[in-house]
Amino acid sequence: MSNTARRGLPSVDRLVRLVEEQINGTLPRAELVQIVRAVVDAARRQLAEGVAAPGIEELAQEALIAVERLLRPSLRHVINATGVVVQTNLGRAPLSPAALAAIQSVAQSYSNLEYDLDAGERGSRYNHLTALLARLTDAEAALAVNNNAAAVLLALACFCAGKEVLVSRGQAVEIGGGFRIPDVLRQSGARLVEVGTTNRTYAHDYAAAITSETAAILTVHRSNFRVVGFTHDPHEMELRHLAHEAGVLWIDDWGSGSLLRPERYGLAAEDTVQDRVAAGCDLVCFSGDKLLGGPQAGLIVGSSSAIGQLRKHPLLRALRVDKLTIAAMEATLLSYVQGRAEQEIPVWQMISASSDALHTRATALVAQLREMGVDSAEVTSCESAVGGGSLPGQTLPSWAVALTTTPDRLHTQLRSGDPAVVGRITDERLLLDLRTVLPHEDTTLIQALVAALAQESPRS
């Protein structure tokens, strides 16, 4: 690269001044200087490779793009049009307005997180949710930690470290993100003892495996798969009697843990958390951000003695929830206590939405798109999933807006928008399933589609 070519590049200071005029003080000068230097250095490398030097306007535009990229939040709003209600990759359960208001209330000032206002002395953060969880599940006591994996780990570490835990071979499962029950057992210090077979496990399999080293029977929700056909699992009463007679704990990992009955919404019947408590489990662990519809948390309900020991375990401090989680969870649980979960909690709004209502929304959206000249849009029927390892294999009838023009490229454009839109491609059509699009997002969805299609048109 000649000195003449190098001198053709603008100085860093000159380029900084030019960019400063356009960003209106949104970035400190020191940060902007770093960005501009990187842009100029890249231009020098181009020159060294024999590529013509970009002009000052082009370099300024590159710097502006870099500024925008830096300031754009990595974690941002996405419209979930996949049809998967509890979409793990998209943040699982959206929070209710009441939960959001509760977060804002405690986030913008101090709170009584660990202060007993009545006694005027130090309190416990774990007391805020205990009464509500116990009331809703009919358990004696309750505890919240930061997710369900943590809940299971804490229970095993507290009661089973150095001892044996019996697990059916059909329940030694792996769920999303590589979370494996055998691995959690090892981390807790417990020893896994598998009983029965993959498809059939009986109470006598557990009974035959119990020794003086056995600390607990662990039952596990199969989460994201089903075993069908020639199968058998022990009845809850058999496990309850066996655990009681042997003097071992029955710990239940109930996964997504619904407080409402899924069969009311056209889904297969499945035990609620209340059912598991009534069955005699000493501890039931479940997620707060799946079918419960609250923030990420692991909830543990059960006997007062068992919960009391968990609260004293040293590991609890590493797994504790913060004030924002507690605030959102309390508001979510109050919706259940007040009988308004279906009306107020987004997960249950989506699950309970009628097919007719979704069809009406899809028809209205397609009509708007066609008025705007989008002839490729059409209404189509589809199936939605609950997702998040909840109710595996169960679907709900739904309706979607389908687009047939360059579906892959259009989907890429939608994902790059603000907000981003994520759908699914089926049979060479981009489907935007309205079961998981909140009704107040319909207008934003139309705007995002029109913007994405406008970017597509020059290349189509």
Same domain? For 26 and 122 the reply is: no
Same domain? For 286 and 361 the reply is: no
Residues 6+ apart with CB under 8 A from 26: 67, 71
Same domain? For 329 and 367 the reply is: no
Amino acid at 346: P
Would you give per-residue pLDDT tens digits along the chain (460 residues)? 455 555 568 899 999 999 999 998 899 999 999 999 999 999 998 888 888 878 899 999 999 999 999 999 999 999 999 999 999 899 999 999 999 999 999 999 999 999 999 999 999 999 999 999 999 999 999 999 999 999 999 999 999 999 999 999 887 777 665 667 888 888 888 999 999 888 889 889 999 999 999 999 999 887 666 667 777 888 888 999 999 999 999 999 998 889 999 999 988 888 999 999 999 999 999 999 999 999 999 999 999 999 999 999 999 999 999 999 999 999 999 999 999 999 999 999 999 999 999 999 999 999 999 999 888 899 999 999 998 767 777 889 999 999 988 999 999 999 999 999 999 999 999 999 999 999 999 999 999 999 998 886 554 4
Same domain? For 119 and 175 the reply is: yes
DSSP state of 26: S
Same domain? For 245 and 117 the reply is: yes
The half-sphere exposure of 429 on its side-chain side, counting CA atoms within 13 A, is 16
Alpha-carbon 79 to chain mean position: 14
Same domain? For 329 and 394 the reply is: no
Last residue of a domain, one of 325, 344, 363: 344
Last residue of a domain, one of 319, 344, 369: 344
Q: Tell me, what CATH number does 451's domain have?
A: 3.90.1150.110
DSSP state of 74: S
How far is 247 from 424, CA to CA, in rounded Å? 50
Same domain? For 204 and 353 the reply is: no
How far is 110 from 2, CA to CA, in rounded Å? 62
Same domain? For 103 and 149 the reply is: yes
Same domain? For 83 and 104 the reply is: no
Residues 6+ apart with CB under 8 A from 357: none
User: Residue with structure tokens 């509760």?
Assistant: 102
Same domain? For 268 and 412 the reply is: no
Last residue of a domain, one of 311, 344, 377: 344
How many domains are there within the chain? 3
Instruction: Show the domain range for 60.
Output: 3-71
Same domain? For 25 and 116 the reply is: no
Same domain? For 340 and 367 the reply is: no
